[in-house]
Each structure stands twice: as C-alpha cells, then as structure tokens.
Amino acid sequence: MDQLQLTDFDLDQQLLALPGVSLLIFTSLGCSSCRWARHHLPEQSIPVDRLCWIDAEENGGAVQRYGVFHLPAMFVVRDGALFGPLRTQISAEAITAGLAVALATAPDELP
C-alpha cells in the first residue's frame, strides 16, 4: 500500500489528482494512538490504494478546513471527492467496515 506525507501546500492538489481510494489520516507526534497508527496501519490489509498522512501540528490550515478536533482523525477520499470522516476504531476490521459505509454515501467536494 502506498503512503504519502501531505502538507497544507500540497494536500488539495494531491487528493484531487490521485485516483482510487485514499485514507487521509491526521496525526501528531505527541499522540500515542497516532504513533501506533503510523506504525501498524501500513501493515494491515485495508481496502484503500494509499494512506495519506498529515501532521496536525504543522498543518493548521488543513486541520481547520477538515474540522479536526481529535487525533488521529481519518477521512475518506475517492477520485478527488470527499466521502466524509471515518469515525471508527483504528483496526483493519473497523476501518474496512467504515469504508464500506462511507463509500456508499454521496460524495462532497474537498473542504
């Protein structure tokens, strides 16, 4: 599974251009759940084309636009369209189930 590190400067451009399903994950170095996710999610079998990481401490513009209030925060993007936040536990099973629900909804534009 591909992994990208995104910033305020390239977030929109990348997400609009990337085909397939991206899981956008806001994290912070000071968050133990975030560190666990960064270490273990790439090893999991999750039905996405890529994991897109964004450091919440360094990218306040994206944090504000996406309305991130807790970390880690996950959002589903497919073919440049936002399918909303993914409010699940950080496990392959929970994320897979949440993706199915999110991708069954009507998409929206990126914030």
Note the pLDDT tens digit of each residue in 7-30: 999 999 999 999 999 999 999 999
**Residue 98: inside a domain:** yes
**What is each CA distance from 109 to 11, 47, 74, 79, 89, in whole angstroms?**
14, 22, 16, 11, 25
Give phi and psi for 51, each to the nearest 5: -105, 130
Strands 50-55 and 2-6: parallel
HEC states along 94-106?
Answer: HHHHHHHHHHCCC
**Residue 111: inside a domain:** no
Note the pLDDT tens digit of each residue in 27-70: 999 999 999 999 999 999 999 999 999 999 999 999 999 999 99
For the chain, the domain total comes to 1
CATH of the domain at 80: 3.40.30.10
Beta strands in 1-111 (DSSP E): 2-6, 21-27, 50-55, 73-78, 81-86
Whole-model pTM? Answer: 0.95
